[in-house]
Amino acid sequence: MTSETHARPGAPDGLAAELLEVALEAAGAAGALLRDGRPADLAVAATKSSPIDVVTEMDLAAEKLITGVLERRRPHDALLGEEGADRAGTSGVRWVVDPLDGTVNYLYGLPSWSVSVAAEYEGETLVGVVAAPMRGETFRAVLGGGAWLGGTRLACRAAAPLDQALVATGFAYLQPRRAQQAEVAREVVPRVRDIRRGGSAAIDLCDVAAGRLDAYYERGLNPWDLAAGVLIAREAGALTGGRPGRPASGELALAGTPAVFEALQPLLEAAGAWHD
């Protein structure tokens, strides 16, 4: 076992290494399916929160593939997936899966989409894997073992003031929330270097880990959007959270270099980034 798979105290010996291996298999297989199996006539299969919040047949196929891997490798674990997979378990492990993060990008043929697979042990995220097949990148982290991209250990950017920070965000598919998020962005833009909107929360969190962004924030995310990416960002030295004193959640999720996090969090609080 390498140093990156040393589990936190209390986790059974070898559990982190096993979960990481399974997560890499599941994310890799789903990523290959999505990359190589995308039909030329890909269409919307269903909608969720609004007519522009879409699901494609490939979202469903990727989740089915991941579910199959987990049932074969870890049949006693619980599972929560974006596209409806939900089962109880008896092992203390729960998988939190987004089979296609960035569905609209994928629908339009844009490359910024990913597969996010996280494993919790007794309620704490122990392993996170984010595969970004069109980049040829797979990010991974184990609690206490650092964040990695291939053989490179990741570290977030060096300290910089907020006005020199490159900050990513995202926007919801519910129109009233989008309007409020636009108002928040108006408050943020003049105070930072620039804003980016990539379309995949998991990739944005990994880009904070890799030093490609100084921070990322968004309201309205779900556990499957956050679980793997938050662990990867935190293991690379980023601070993560929501409103002051609270963890990242659907109310607000924020990750950034320590200096930018400390400056951006109160700005987002004052701007009302946590409510519609």
Arithmetic mean of pLDDT over the chain: 94
- pLDDT value, residue 203: 98
Average pLDDT over residues 236-246: 98
For the full predicted model, state whether its pTM sits above 0.75.
yes
- Could you give phi then psi for residue 157, rounded to 5 degrees? -65, 160
Which CATH number applies to 3-153?
A: 3.30.540.10
Task: List strand residue ranges (DSSP E) for 12-63, in order.
Answer: 44-47, 54-56
- 1 pLDDT band, cuts 50/70/90, is very low
Query: Using one digit for the tens of pLDDT, what is the confidence trace for 121-131?
Result: 999 999 999 99
- 2 pLDDT band, cuts 50/70/90, is very low
Query: Using one digit for the tens of pLDDT, what is the confidence trace for 72-119?
Result: 999 999 999 987 878 999 999 999 999 999 999 999 999 999 999 999
DSSP state of 30: H
- 8 pLDDT band, cuts 50/70/90, is low
Separation between Cα atoms, residue 4 and residue 78, nearest integer Å? 24
Where are the chain's structural domains?
Answer: 3-153, 162-271
- Residue 145: which of 248, 234, 23 has the closest Cα? 234
The residues, any chain, with a CB within 8 Å of residue 185's CB and separated by 6 or more, are 169, 195
Average pLDDT over residues 174-182: 94
CB 257 within 8 A of CB 220: no
**Answer CATH for 162-271 from 3.40.50.2300, 3.40.190.80, 3.40.1390.10, 3.90.650.10:** 3.40.190.80
- Could you give phi then psi for residue 73, rounded to 5 degrees? -85, -35
Residues β-bridged to residue 54: 47
DSSP state of 219: S
Separation between Cα atoms, residue 253 and residue 243, nearest integer Å? 8
CB 260 within 8 A of CB 254: no
Share of the chain above pLDDT 90, in %: 86
- pLDDT value, residue 5: 63
